[in-house]
Amino acid sequence: MAVAVDEPPNLVLDEDYRIVEVGPAAEAALGPLRGRNLWDAFPGSRPLFHPYYDKARRTGEPVEFVQFYDGDLGHIRAVPEGSRLLLFWELLHRLDILTLEGLRASLDQALALIEEFDARLRRDRVKSTLRVVEGGR
């Protein structure tokens, strides 16, 4: 689930959360976004995403998380680069809302994906800690 190094970001934000660049995949899926404020372009998303984006800006370190928004479960990576914030995402799951049974099954699948992602993050943190303890090997 890691983002490829040569993959362009989906969105690039300035310090005011204005969209200054839009990757080809995001443009194809979402339409023209350049110049718009992120929170205006995606209503209701601020309380879900801002804490993670703020953490990336404050720490200067990339932040990865999984989040639901508008029926989709996505893996998001926010990478600070100077005053800009590069956003990469991968759609993990789209909720099936056609029937109650479909919704139940879809939610079960989404929860399993969240648990899998959480376990991977914990393993990565342990590996990183062990590298520090071992002297960076």
* DSSP-assigned beta bridge partners for residue 77: 64, 88
Cα-to-chain-centroid distance, residue 112? 18
The tokens for 124 are 């990565």
pLDDT in tens, 68-98: 898 899 999 999 999 999 999 998 988 888 8
- At 21 the three-state DSSP class reads strand
The Cα 11–Cα 16 span in angstroms is 14
Q: In this predicted model, what pLDDT tens digit does every residue of 13-33 receive, in sequence order?
A: 999 999 999 999 999 989 999
